[in-house]
Copies of this chain bind each other. A is one copy, B any other.
Amino acid sequence: MDWFRLSNEAEVASPALLIFEERVESNLRRMIEIAGDPARLRPHVKTHKLGPLVERQLALGINKFKCATIAEAEMCAQADAPDVLIAMPAVGPNVARLCKLAKKYPATRFSTLIDDAGAMQALGLAAVKAGLTLDVFLDLDCGQNRTGIKPGNEALELYRQATTTAGLKVAGLHAYDGHIHEADLTKRRALYETAFGPVLAFRQQLESAGLAVPVLVAGGTPTFPFHAEQTDRQCSPGTTVLWDFGYADKHVDMPFLPAALLLARVVSKPGANRLCLDLGHKSVAAENPHPRVRFIELPDAPAISQSEEHLVIETPRAAEFSVGDTLHGIPRHVCPTVALYNEATVVRGGAAVGTWPIARARRLTV
């Protein structure tokens, strides 16, 4: 039987997010193989938001995690992760939430990012008030122009200031190169080298100034193989654990398998060559143009329209499908797709064996 079909598929209501356990396992082992050692990995959990998957990573020796929200950090803490970086500057009420989190889960070492003097001082004050010391990474802008400070003297001064700010402990540098996703491996490597030259020079500048840089957390998925070659940093791939066709098509050098599929059903047949599926943009990430999902059964069928709960595709093979038939889709971008579901259906040995809750709320308890 095809790997993507479930023996008990008739029991799984659609639309559903399927997680193929054996494929996740394969992806995790490949990640460790590329990094050389699980201790060098700090995978991003925003891709999957699954506590049981954090537990599986811990069992394989991965004990550091990166996340984007306080809820994701709490999910990691609930899974007994010892080291969690919230890779987002804490502002407003999230400062107090971060302190609350650190107090609630003392066995987990939480850290976050700084790139602004005012926000850093507010964070230090809140930590002191809570009787805590929070770990902080200086966030470096290495070309994405999203968050972070450019390497240079101003950044050095901020870093130095952090080392003397009560309530804070400087953990090192964070540099995310999410703007680099060139398909061509040679070009991608050149872009990576250009982006990381200033980061590495800045680290030297800090060290020359007598400022210790305990850790450098570097990169996302497309540059993961390059960062992995260097033993002086932690690697933060994200999508690698579930993979998707956006990265699979672009980064053929990367040995990962699509491990998350969307189960959809034909709900109507509007016209001779069309199928309407129950997979609207409330069920598959929509920030990219179509195709937002590629069906294994109909990989070339173009999307004619998509609304909140419907996707109409066109195919000369429409007559082969009846209302109620299933299709299996690989999402183009799996991370925000997962965030649309409340639970994942876990597949093992070709059958749906249960569900995992997805921590997609913005707030768990804190």
A residues within 8 Å of B by Cβ?
A: 10-16, 46, 68-69, 88-89, 91-94, 97, 115-116, 118-119, 122, 139, 141, 144-148, 178, 265-271, 274, 276, 278, 281-282, 285-287, 304-310, 312, 322-324, 326, 335-336, 339-343, 360-363
Contacts and interface: CB of A to CB of B under 8 A. Distances in A.
The complex is assembled from copies of this chain, and their number is: 2
Contacts of A139: 268
A68 B279 CA distance: 12
B46 A15 contact: no
A2 B271 CA distance: 51
Contact of A91 (B91, B267, B341): B267
Contacts of A363: 13, 342-343
Nearest to A67: B309
A336 B282 contact: yes
A93 B12 contact: yes
Which applies to chain A's interface (DSSP): helix, strand, loop or mixed?
loop
A308 B46 contact: yes
Nearest first, the 3 closest Cβ-Cβ pairs linking A and B are A286-B287, A147-B268, A342-B361
Nearest to A92: B265
Contact of A145 (B89, B144, B304): B304
A94 B274 contact: no
A287 B281 contact: yes
B10 A88 contact: no
Given A13-B92, A336-B282, A276 B362 contact: no
